[in-house]
Amino acid sequence: MATTLGFRIARLPHLWRSILDRRLAPLGLTQTRWVTLYHLWRMGDGQPQCELARAIGVEAPSLVRTLSQLESQGLIERHACENDRRTKRIYLTDAAMPLLEKIDSVATDARQEMLAGLSEEDIDQLNRWLARIEENGLAIQEQDQETPLSP
């Protein structure tokens, strides 16, 4: 049972992204692009490039290509930080807003479909359980980082 649970937890993000990828493909968005736009929208304008990369879970250099593509599409702008000219802050353009509203609509519909059959109480309980599992995982990760690995 526990083994099956682990596989299900691991499979859900892939399934979620696959559904959204398919539904967002007609908008000409790759997963990398819609994930980047959506995270920036949720985080708010003016995010440092490194913070956006951290939130998405990629290395900053990996994000540069995606940001260049989004910039060439007129969806974002990059500006040097006033305090540190090496740091770039990312801003959404007005042209990105209709696209983000569509992404949000598609995500909301998919979320409702995936959670079909669950009550609000069920969803709240699931959220609490997942938060507990995440907290446990973060604690384990922190503990493992403090403990040197044996050869």
Q: Is the pLDDT of residue 1 over 60?
A: no
Let me know if 48 is exposed, middle or buried by CB neighbors in 10 A (0-12, 13-18, 19+): middle
pLDDT one-digit tens code per residue, 32-54: 899 999 999 999 989 898 899 99
- Residue pair 75/36 in contact by the 8 Å Cβ criterion: no
Tokens of 42: 């949720």
pLDDT on residue 150: 66
Beta strands in the chain (DSSP E): 47-48, 76-80, 88-92
pTM over 0.85? The answer is no
pLDDT one-digit tens code per residue, 68-124: 999 999 999 999 877 777 788 999 999 999 999 999 999 999 999 999 999 999 999
Which of the four pLDDT bands, split at 50, 70 and 90, describes residue 6? confident
Q: H helices of 57-95, where? A: 60-72
Give me the residues paired with residue 42 across strands. Answer: none
Count of alpha carbons within 13 angstroms of residue 135, beta-carbon side: 6
